[in-house]
Amino acid sequence: MLLLGRPIVLILEKNIKEELARTKVVPKLATILVGNNPSSETYVRMKVKACARVGIDSISYHLNTETTQEELLELIRKLNHDQEVDGILLQHPIPSHLDERDAFNKIHIDKDVDGVTTTGFGNMALGMDANPSCTPAAIMKLLKHYKIQVEGKHAVVIGRSPILGKPMASLLLNANATVTICHSYTEGLEQIVSTADIVIAAVGKPNFVKGSWIKEGAVVIDAGYNGGNVGDVDFESCLEKASAITPVPGGVGPITIATLLYQTVLSASKRKKENSN
């Protein structure tokens, strides 16, 4: 079975439009892009376009590669205090001379619609109210939509980044999966992957996961996106073994963007309710 993202995107965008009509709120998402990473520029354009499609206002800031940490933090502080801004997205990655974690953590928790702050991660991991990181949240939506059982299953997450691998493992654990996280220091990676009922590839290496690693009938989720529209999974070889698999593009990516918009709407509705009390 091919796990396509578009059916889920249509549902999310319908829910967004219904929520906006109900609350009469027009949310605003502020996006910050630092530097000239072509992939990041493409992602930001896609997000701005998606905002316009569903009725969310957006404002974009494109900072040059030489931007200092203080200049970046000053913009984040400005957006935190801007009452018209409901969500702040700092596009990852940012230039290496900047402290990304520090910048993420300066985003106010109420405007952390991308689920990147330390506080947001902690709340999410403990099952408390928080916007989860968008790609892991998108994957959970995909699994639910296609009625793929998570509870009691062995899920292997390949990758441990703070905005993908680690929150992915936490969400799966909260859904009662048994979770193994693999990374660059993992010994016997192929053998571990071969025991998984659900494999989630988030390693950032094109065609990294091979079909020979996959257990017959496993579900394979490709959360990677590399140059040339290539994921982290060797799609053709994994397709022969998997019972269900996501394509790249057209799988997780579109749901990630729709999830960002949905969480922006929830943030706006929450802020409006709090301000009216």
Question: Annotated catalytic sites, by residue?
Answer: 47, 91, 114
- As given in the structure block, the two tokens for residue 51 are 């905002």
Cβ atoms 126, 100 nearer than 8 A: no
Helices (DSSP H) in 106-228: which residue ranges? 118-125, 134-145, 165-174, 189-193
How far apart are the C-alpha atoms of 3 and 254, rounded to whole Å?
Answer: 12
Cβ atoms 57, 265 nearer than 8 A: no
Helices (DSSP H) in 97-197: which residue ranges? 100-105, 118-125, 134-145, 165-174, 189-193
Q: What is the amino acid identity at position 10?
A: L
